Chains A and B, each alone.
Chain A
Amino acid sequence: MKNLWRNLPTLRFLIYAIALYILLMVLSSGGILNDYIMIIINICLIYVILATSLNLINGITGLFSVGHMGFAAVGAYVAGTFTTLVWKLPNDGSVTTTLLFIGALLLGGIGAAIVGFLIGMPALRMKGDYLAIVTLGFGEIIRTIVNNIDAVGGPRGLLGIPELSSFTIIFVATVVTVLILRYLVYSSHGRAMISVREDATAADLVGINTTKYKVWSFIIGAFFAGIGGGLLAHLIQLAHPTQYGFYASFLVLIVVYIGGVGSITGSILAAFVLTILEKYLLPMVLQWAGLGVEWRMVIYSLLLIIVMIYRPEGLMPREAKFMIPEDH
């Protein structure tokens, strides 16, 4: 029995997730977790999706993409266009609405995946920092294009998006994302991706199609980023080009590297720690200390530097392998 428990990490993870979900639901309906805490948890979960999907590209396959929010923008705008402009979904949370919303999210993810494919192609030719600049450039191009399409609001943003991202949907999406990424990482495809990271030439020599895996990691990473973007847009009820600039991409990058590049667990952990720190603890500490709210980001960036100096590998170094059987 004990062995079975150990060797079914997915089951273990699912049970933990369901327990956590029930706990949070009970607490929030009991009024112990108020709306403020729930919105922070929702933002944390969306950051988990964004960070784990970026981690697939940067941590597992070892590429260096910095324009991740560009994919999220595609997801947000495609999903938002379907729910708001095409289907004009009401805010009622009925089964049809929810199903259509999930459809819109998937379409957003597919849109982002197509863009990911387009960006993955030049990734074949470029390395390291050159790839970084290309992804950054792509991110900015996506933002510029969205900013100039008046049908989706241009610089006014896509407005009037129904609030369809409930806690349940976000939670389920996060769990599914993490599970799929986890499966991928420990499948033969994931092993191939890791071999690309460790030594692309050697991987080529043993017959791994490194080209294919680089492009696929972009496609899959972009797909989930698109889902994350769609969820975010339907949580705060608007999609705006300035939310998806290079600065926002850096924030996701920070989550991945503070968490520990290559560690999915680390990304999950860092998404929670950093979001709660920034949006919850620091405002409280400042109020207590009588400092102005503008000092929040000063302290945040200082903590970032200190954590990186004392834990350069991130909170969860790569060896930490949560969710894999013990014998690996």
Chain B
Amino acid sequence: MDLTMFFQQLINGLQLGAIYALIALGYTMVYGIIRLINFAHADFLMVGAFAVYFFASFILTLTNAIPPIIIFILGLIVALVAGALIAELSNRLAYKPLRYKPRLSALITAVGVSMFLEYFFASLPFIGPSFRAFPDLIKPVSFVVGGVYLNTIQLLDIGLAIVLMILLTYIVNRTMMGKAMRAVSQDKDAAKLMGIDVERTITFVFLIGGALAGAAGILMAMTYPRIYPNMGILPGLKAFVAAVLGGIGNIPGAMVGGFLLGIAEIYATSFNSLLGEGIAFAILILVLLVRPQGLLGEKQSEKV
């Protein structure tokens, strides 16, 4: 592998990692607060992408006069809102009744919600199982730096992911709601005694996590302009792996895990594409063997 190819693959990996990281954040936030692996999270991404698709198609049939950047920003808002709403809806209807029930029942419910969203969207006559071309909200422009090809969408993916992560870090570390989130994730009962509205905090987490999934949805749809009801499954699985790799429940861990997994997957594929996916999982298992709590996860001491 020469140097140009090395850097080209690094860029490819960063782009893929940015999307993984955004999805992984949602997994990790929900896990951190209610210890639930929300398998439906990847489908919130799909809902976000479809919301933008219908919104953009609607706008584009009305007028072509709006500059693309405005459509993109409006689309991003639609994606954030759609993702947040579907996440909170799932929380309210499916997860809340199981809050104090066995943890794994909620997990199976999450698998059910995930299946339901996929099959329901695929069965709706106006959506259907087919692949749809996602309109070019922003025309990608390619440019070459030292033999390495870059394009605007790639930079947008990485840039927006970083901006959203900074925003999230700010919310978690500097606001009252963030403090409440950290308190609830440490000890629900103690948080309640301190006067924190636990349910409201959980709702807030689902709203933020869902919005991040929506953002990942619009980014995925723009980068890989093909959307369909099952589009979230594979990236969702990878992002979940990334969240565990970074240490599930740990927000910086999800970011690091996402980028690392993206880069590892690209280099593994580049080494041998036939076994690429298997190699990525093997790397993951090796990392977890050395650090069973994930890269940034805290070692849990045994409670006796």
Determine direct contact between A and B, CB below 8 Å. yes
A contacts with B: majority SS: helix
Say whether B288 contacts A141, CB under 8 Å.
Answer: no
A-side contacts of B105, CB under 8 Å: 257, 308, 312-314
CA of A132 to CA of B27 in the docked complex: distance in angstroms?
A: 15
A-side contacts of B112, CB under 8 Å: 254, 301-302, 304-305, 308
Within 8 A of B (CB), among A216-243: none
Out of B101, B113, B241, B292, name the residue touching A126 (CB < 8 Å): B292
User: What's the least CB distance linking A278 to chain B, in Å?
Assistant: 12
Say whether B237 contacts A258, CB under 8 Å.
Answer: no
CA of A171 to CA of B181 in the docked complex: distance in angstroms?
A: 52
Say whether A305 contacts B109, CB under 8 Å.
Answer: yes
User: What's the least CB distance linking B277 to chain A, in Å?
Assistant: 6
Q: Tell me whether B123 is interfacial, beta carbon within 8 Å.
A: yes
Out of A137, A141, A254, name the residue touching B111 (CB < 8 Å): A254
Chain B, Cβ-Cβ closest to A297: B119
Q: Tell me whether A201 is interfacial, beta carbon within 8 Å.
A: yes
Annotate A111-142 by CB proximity to B: 1 below 8 A, 0 otherwise. Answer: 00000000000100111011011101110110
B-side contacts of A308, CB under 8 Å: 98, 105-106, 108-109, 112
Known: A133-B241, A140-B281, A144-B275. A122 touches B119 (CB 8 A): no
**Interface band, chain B:** 35 or more
CA of A298 to CA of B244 in the docked complex: distance in angstroms?
A: 30
Within 8 A of B (CB), among A290-316: 292, 294-295, 297-298, 300-302, 304-305, 308-309, 312-314
Annotate B213-246 by CB proximity to A: 1 below 8 A, 0 otherwise. Answer: 0000000000000000000010001001100100
Known: A254-B108, A261-B104. A301 touches B115 (CB 8 A): yes
A-side contacts of B278, CB under 8 Å: 140-141, 144-145, 148
Say whether B122 contacts A126, CB under 8 Å.
Answer: no
Say whether B98 contacts A295, CB under 8 Å.
Answer: no
Annotate A64-82 by CB proximity to B: 1 below 8 A, 0 otherwise. Answer: 1000000000000000000
Say whether B94 contacts A309, CB under 8 Å.
Answer: yes
Out of B116, B122, B274, B288, name the residue touching A133 (CB < 8 Å): B288
CA of A254 to CA of B109 in the docked complex: distance in angstroms?
A: 9
Say whether A292 contacts B123, CB under 8 Å.
Answer: yes
- Among the interface residues A140, A247, A300, A309, which one has the most CB atoms of the partner chain B within 10 A? A309
Say whether B277 contacts A140, CB under 8 Å.
Answer: yes
Annotate A240-264 by CB proximity to B: 1 below 8 A, 0 otherwise. Answer: 0000001100100110011001000
CA of A305 to CA of B304 in the docked complex: distance in angstroms?
A: 35
Chain A, Cβ-Cβ closest to B98: A312
B-side contacts of A145, CB under 8 Å: 275, 278
Q: Tell me whether B102 is interfacial, beta carbon within 8 Å.
A: yes
Within 8 A of A (CB), among B51-97: 94, 97
Known: A145-B278, A294-B122. A127 touches B116 (CB 8 A): no
A-side contacts of B282, CB under 8 Å: 137, 141
A-side contacts of B102, CB under 8 Å: 261, 312-313
A-side contacts of B300, CB under 8 Å: 127
Give me the interface of B with A, judged by CB distance under 8 Å.
31, 37, 94, 97-98, 101-102, 104-109, 111-113, 115-116, 119-120, 122-123, 129, 233, 237, 240-241, 244, 248, 274-275, 277-278, 281-282, 284-285, 288-289, 292-294, 300, 302, 304
Give me the interface of A with B, judged by CB distance under 8 Å.
64, 122, 125-127, 129-130, 132-134, 136-138, 140-141, 144-145, 148, 201, 246-247, 250, 253-254, 257-258, 261, 292, 294-295, 297-298, 300-302, 304-305, 308-309, 312-314
Q: Offer 6 A-B interface pairs, CB within 8 angstroms, sorted by A.
A: A64-B104, A137-B281, A138-B281, A257-B108, A298-B123, A301-B120
